[in-house]
Structure 1
Amino acid sequence: MDYKNLSKFEKLAEFQTANFWRGERHFAAVYLKAVWLNDKAVMDEYERFGDRPYQFITNKRAYDRGLLFGFDGKQLDEHGWLQRPEFLEQEEIPFTVKDKPYSSNYLQIGRGKNGKWTYSVSCSTGNASSSSGLSIWGKVMDSRKDCLKEGLKEMLLHHQLAAERLKDDTCGNFNAKFSCEIVRQVKDMFDELTGRKAVQLSFF
């Protein structure tokens, strides 16, 4: 039987089979309260996002997060998951060195429909790297400039932490010369963006 057509107690029993992590538990609690009180408006709002508890809780949470960037689409894909919104005015800003033209150090930024911005950072210090994609789960920034500043600061912090944690590494995870050049470029851009001399950061 379609989940939406189950009785109150059948829905409660079905819901108990799903496991939610901390970020989803608030949404699960709101829905469970609505089921217990037979609040059809709230139940309908949640259940339109999928045909099983874990799916519609996950989709509702993503939908609410997307609203912070002005994304209000409720379309689901062929598998029943909320379609991923596309950020506007996307830019990718790479930081490269001569012998590695295809750097894995780059900053991505994008604008939501309501003018809010976010960023993602990909960093490499040698063989070690980390990467994240542009998404609604990124920080919400008010302007392109603020977005760039925050992203650049995060890149600097990543290289600083790597210098501290991997200073004794012998596997090539931290290449001081390579990382120092990336840091120099990032700091130069930060200085130009802010119009002032950045605080001296001594990593090496």
Structure 2
Amino acid sequence: MEKALSQMSKEEKLQALADYLPCRHERQYVLRYILALRHDDMEQVAWFESFGQSVYRVMLNISTYERGKLFGYADKQFDEHGWIKGMLPIVENIALDDFNVIRIGQSVNGLYAVTVSWATSNAGGGSYPSVWDEPMADYKEAVLCGIRMLEQQYAKVSSKETSRVMAGLRNLKGRYTGPQQLALF
């Protein structure tokens, strides 16, 4: 097991950063960390190292932290394994059946994120709303986005459930976009 960043020398940290292969959006964080080390900016180095014990964990946690700011999260909330929590609380599960569900998550600043879980007799998939999903300001738009996501999944496959699910999606779309009866009191 490799040493924790906080136990490494400056040269070892620079070598660990040189060995790390960042994705495109992580490159800016790697560069800032390298510059902080080269300029002996201990405050900035401590900020980076507060995100984890390895370069990999630091970069993924910083990425999640920065993306979470878009959803109104300003503090670092780590789970029991040392990862920053990026999942949003679910405000509604819209289930067409046991296997086809639209999940609407809402962040602290009121933005919504939508994901779907789907399953046919041959394939399936799904996820949980998180800061990595596209933010939406309107609840109704989030529901319609979820309906479109399920429609796109079922347009790709041919199964015996397709017509039943598509009919359910049409009913759901009518419920959320159709005219509503208002009651006067």
State the TM-score, normalized to the length of structure 2: 0.83
Unaligned runs of 5+ in 2: 180-185
Contact 1:12 1:32 in 2 (8 A): yes
Instruction: Specify the alignment match of 1:68 in structure 2.
Output: 70
Instruction: Specify the alignment match of 2:30 in structure 1.
Output: 28
Q: Does 1:124 align with 2:107?
A: no
Instruction: Specify the alignment match of 1:200 in structure 2.
Output: none
Cα deviation 1:130-154 (Å, max 9, x = unaligned): 2112222111110211111111111
Contact 1:71 1:85 in 2 (8 A): no
Instruction: Specify the alignment match of 1:155 in structure 2.
Output: 150
Offset, 1:82: 1.9
Cα deviation 1:169-189 (Å, max 9, x = unaligned): xxxxx32x4111111111222
Instruction: Specify the alignment match of 1:95 in structure 2.
Output: 96
Instruction: Specify the alignment match of 1:40 in structure 2.
Output: 42
Offset, 1:85: 4.7
Unaligned runs of 5+ in 1: 97-102, 163-173, 197-204
Instruction: Specify the alignment match of 1:79 in structure 2.
Output: 81
Equivalent residue of 1:16, what SS? helix
State the TM-score, normalized to the length of structure 1: 0.76
Tell me the distance in 1 between the aligned counterparts of 2:118 and 2:85. Answer: 28
Instruction: Specify the alignment match of 2:163 in structure 1.
Output: 180
Contact 2:88 2:129 in 1 (8 A): no
| Cα distance change, pair 86–153 in 1 and its aligned pair in 2 (3 A) | closer
Tell me the distance in 2 between the aligned counterparts of 1:93 and 1:78. Answer: 30
Contact 1:105 1:122 in 2 (8 A): yes
Q: Does 1:4 align with 2:11?
A: no
Tell me the distance in 1 between the aligned counterparts of 2:161 and 2:5. Answer: 56
Contact 1:111 1:118 in 2 (8 A): yes
Tell me the distance in 2 between the aligned counterparts of 1:51 and 1:59. Answer: 11
Q: Which AA in structure 2 matches 1:194?
A: T
Offset, 1:37: 3.0
Tell me the distance in 2 between the aligned counterparts of 1:154 and 1:85. Answer: 19
Tell me the distance in 2 between the aligned counterparts of 1:118 and 1:77. Answer: 21
Offset, 1:6: 4.0
Contact 1:116 1:140 in 2 (8 A): yes
Contact 2:147 2:173 in 1 (8 A): yes
Tell me the distance in 2 between the aligned counterparts of 1:135 and 1:83. Answer: 9
Instruction: Specify the alignment match of 1:13 in structure 2.
Output: 15
